[in-house]
Amino acid sequence: MNEKTPAKPEIAPVDFEYASSREATDLVEIDDSYGLWINGASRSPASKRYFSTINPATEEPLARIAEANERDVDRAVKAARKASDSWRRTPGKERAKYLFRIARMIQERAREFAVLETLDGGKPIKESRDFDIPLVAAYFFYYAGWADKLEYAFPGLKPEPLGVAGQVIPWNFPLLMMSWKVAPALATGNTVVLKPAETTSLTALAFARLTAEAGLPSGVFNVVTGAGPTGASLVAHPGVDKVAFTGSTAVGKAIQRSIAGSPKHLTLELGGKAPHVVFDDAPIDQAIEGVVNGIFFNQGHVCCAGSRLLVQESIADHFVDKLKRRLETLRVGDPLDKNTDVGAINSEAQLDKITELVDVGIEEGAGIYQPACELPDRGYFFKPTLFTGVSQSHRIAQEEIFGPVLSIMTFRTPAEAIEKANNTPYGLSAGVWTTKGSRILWMADRLKAGVVWANTYNKFDPASPFGGYQESGFGREGGKHGLLPYLSGVR
Ligand code: NAP
Ligand code: MG
């Protein structure tokens, strides 16, 4: 964590080079227009409607994408239902072969997927290259490994697939969130209808083509593109047995209400407002890098972002000074530039939301600090931002900003750190920096968070479950736990 790069994955990075961002865009082929992916092929939408997806770093349109209405969703669910009988009876070791093949093909096409993810969503290429895409392949490899071992995973029980999974994902890690859902669903013998986010559907559609090339039987994986109403139709469809949702707490609650009383199974991965706690004995330089990674990785569009820094009072001034100096070195701009640390905000709507909450922070009396970096003239960008003098009741200390904005508070004792850290409706993740092992364990016992990172942040591994408490949702993705939401007969 000593390096300047905010994200340092333990998974092998993708090996590729290009000279300029123009050359990078030549690495991918983008069609003018995309249909819905239903029953193994691209189909024109019954809705006859299309929306356009743009590059948020330039505001230029990239492609037109079909918008699925209720009839389209119905077609996709029926295709998934039809494919379900033979897919669930396909022996686990055969299902594994498809998933291993898919994982290898993602690795082979990592350049294309990384550039496409960055073009459509705005994240820095070094993140899509070294974090997202290698992890996507890793999740497919990992769940491929479980496909023929389910009876060993749940000894004495009879694991059975649920049937058709309707999966709705957000725009911050499009392919990665897809892999967290699709890999375990297919490994356990379920078929899938996926609804990607409106602003970032291109990689899911590219993945759909890849599944056909991998020989995955038609109907096992389907994609319905569109906005919120398409997601709502999918969730409401009576042919869906399992709903898996990642997104905002507000939409998650609406989904839970809408399917209450139905036999549908549900998992919700929602928002967060993670505390990042730094004690006075912490290795300061590493902690600075951890805090920077925690909030500026992917422009802060991260559900588990360390968006509240709690720093021990005795080192607070020194720590915040160092943090400000470090912010001056962050490079904000062209996401395709390999040296960019902070890329484009995903959409104009998200930029407006961040701007609005930052204005609220100023009005509430917190002190704002932004480095003197210049932002590109076009595209959606926001300067890395710190707020000092934040009190717990401030909206910027309570609400998820989902942007590159850190709210800083102080504490004196470990008990006070816990009290402040747990003072939100969320409970997704937390970070602790200290050299005392006993203190790490003491904190981990008391922090209300699904994941607690110690002396590191934003580390992911397919074998490790991820998920929340309270308003951050329920159910786990990753690890053996990630199989449970897609199986009956395992409890
Ligand atoms: P969002 O507005 O809730 O959207 C998530 C997905 O749901 C999108 O595909 C969206 O479609 C769709 N959708 C919207 N309204 C719907 C409805 N009524 N019924 C069904 N689907 C509907 O969230 P977002 O702004 O995209 O994503 C940011 C949020 O996701 C943050 O709160 C973040 O913390 C959370 N998140 C959580 C995790 C986790 O693992 N816990 C991971 C990543 C993100 P459109 O966008 O196309 O309109
Ligand atoms: Mg886009």
The pLDDT tens digits for 168-193 are 999 999 999 999 999 999 999 999 99
Pocket residues: Cβ below 6 A from ligand 1: 168-172, 177, 195, 197-198, 227-228, 231-232, 235, 246-248, 251, 254-255, 269-272, 303, 400, 402, 428, 468, 473
| Separation between Cα atoms, residue 27 and residue 48, nearest integer Å | 30
Residue 10 has pLDDT above 60, yes or no: no
CA of 63 to the centre of ligand 2 (A): 9
CATH architecture entry for 21-269+470-488: 3-Layer(aba) Sandwich (3.40)
Largest CA distance in the chain: 64
Per-position DSSP letters for 316-339, written without gaps between them: HHHHHHHHHHHHHT--BS-TTSTT
Bigger pLDDT: 12 or 110?
A: 110
- Which is the catalytic residue, given 112, 127, 198, 303? 303
Confidence of residue 20 (pLDDT cuts 50, 70, 90): confident
Asked if residues 281 and 436 have their Cβ atoms less than 8 Å apart, the reply is yes
Catalytic position from the list 112, 117, 127, 269: 269
Per-residue pLDDT for 14 more than 70? no
Query: Rounded mean pLDDT of 418-441?
Result: 97
Whether residue 444 contacts residue 435, with contact meaning beta carbons closer than 8 Å, is answered with no
Q: Enter the pTM of the model.
A: 0.95
Q: Where in the chain is the domain with CATH 3.40.309.10?
A: 275-454
Tell me whether residue 303 is one of the annotated catalytic residues. yes
CATH architecture of 275-454: 3-Layer(aba) Sandwich (3.40)
Other CB atoms within 10 A of residue 84 CB: 22
481: CB partners within 8 A, 6+ apart: 465, 467
Model pLDDT, residue 491: 79
List the one residue out of 418, 467, 424 whose CA is nearest residue 446: 418
Q: Which atom of ligand 1 is nearest to the CA of 303?
A: 34
Q: Which amino acid is at 373?
A: C
Mean pLDDT score, 238-261: 96
Q: Please list the residue range(s) of the chain that carry CATH number 3.40.605.10.
A: 21-269+470-488
In this predicted structure, what is the pLDDT of residue 21? 78
User: Would the pLDDT of 410 be above 70?
Assistant: yes
Residues 392 and 407: their CA atoms lie apart, in Å, by 10
Rounded mean pLDDT, 265-293: 97
Ligand 1 pocket mutation, candidates 168, 180, 256, 295, criterion most atoms within 8 A of CB: 168
State pLDDT tens for residues 133-170.
Answer: 999 999 999 999 999 999 999 999 999 999 999 999 99
Give me the half-sphere count of Cα atoms (radius 13 Å) on the Cβ side of residue 358. 20
DSSP E strands in 178-238: the ranges are 191-195, 221-223
Ligand 1 probe mutation, 303, 399, 400, 472, most atoms within 8 A of CB: 303
Q: Which bound ligand lies closest to the C-alpha atom of 56?
A: 2
Other CB atoms within 10 A of residue 221 CB: 31
Count of Cβ atoms closer than 10 Å to residue 151 Cβ: 12
